[in-house]
């Protein structure tokens, strides 16, 4: 009986030690995601693209069926930051975690506070952001982003209203 009890305890311990870590705040995938976000902040678009698989889809504030390619996302980022004098995430407000789902998928979650300063008015905008990216073989294969940029959009619309539109120049026939 004593031998059976020791064997049972030993087997239980071995099984318990084989459980894979399904949640962590330190991983190669997190480090890759940090590099991708830093590349975004530095407008280092070529380097940023290297962290994504060729077939990766980006779904920022849209559903999966409206996802875009990494190249399309980079072009949108370039356009978005063109109206800003500065932008980036506040370091002390950034959190990362990696999880493995019941299906064996690896996801990295990011929560951060984005700040951007509008060129035209020097107004500072702060927007809480949540990003989540699925990794396969060290590359991002899909990414979802969620944030509310209503205040920034409203400020841009207000600027557009104040900017006079150019009237076509009248030409005369000779």
* Nearest of 105, 116, 92 to residue 144 by alpha carbon: 105
User: For the whole model, what pTM was predicted?
Assistant: 0.80
Per-residue pLDDT of the chain (174 residues; tens, 9 = 90+): 666 667 666 655 555 555 667 888 899 999 999 999 999 999 999 999 999 999 999 999 999 999 999 999 999 999 999 999 999 999 999 999 999 999 999 999 999 999 999 999 999 999 999 999 999 999 999 999 999 999 999 999 998 887 666 555 555 454
Bin 67: left if φ > 0, else alpha if -120 < ψ < 50, else beta: beta
CB-based contacts of 99: which residues, under 8 Å, 6+ apart?
A: 22, 23, 106, 107, 109
> Strand, helix or coil at 106?
strand
């Amino acid at each position: 009986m004593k031998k059976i009890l020791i064997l049972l305890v030993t087997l239980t311990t071995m099984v318990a030690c084989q459980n894979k870590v399904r949640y962590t705040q330190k991983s190669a995938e997190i480090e890759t995601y940090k590099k991708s976000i830093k590349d975004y902040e530095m407008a280092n678009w070529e380097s940023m693209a290297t962290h994504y698989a060729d077939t990766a889809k980006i779904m920022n504030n849209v559903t999966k069926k409206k996802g875009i390619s990494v190249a399309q996302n980079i072009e949108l980022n370039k356009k978005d930051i063109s109206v800003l004098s500065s932008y980036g995430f506040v370091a002390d407000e950034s959190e990362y975690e990696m999880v493995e789902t019941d299906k064996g998928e690896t996801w990295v979650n990011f929560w951060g506070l984005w700040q951007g300063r509008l060129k035209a008015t020097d107004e500072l905008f702060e927007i809480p952001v949540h990003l989540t990216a699925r990794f396969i073989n060290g590359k991002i294969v899909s990414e979802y982003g969620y944030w509310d940029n209503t205040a920034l959009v409203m400020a841009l619309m207000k600027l557009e209203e104040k900017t006079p539109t150019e009237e076509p120049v009248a030409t005369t026939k000779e």
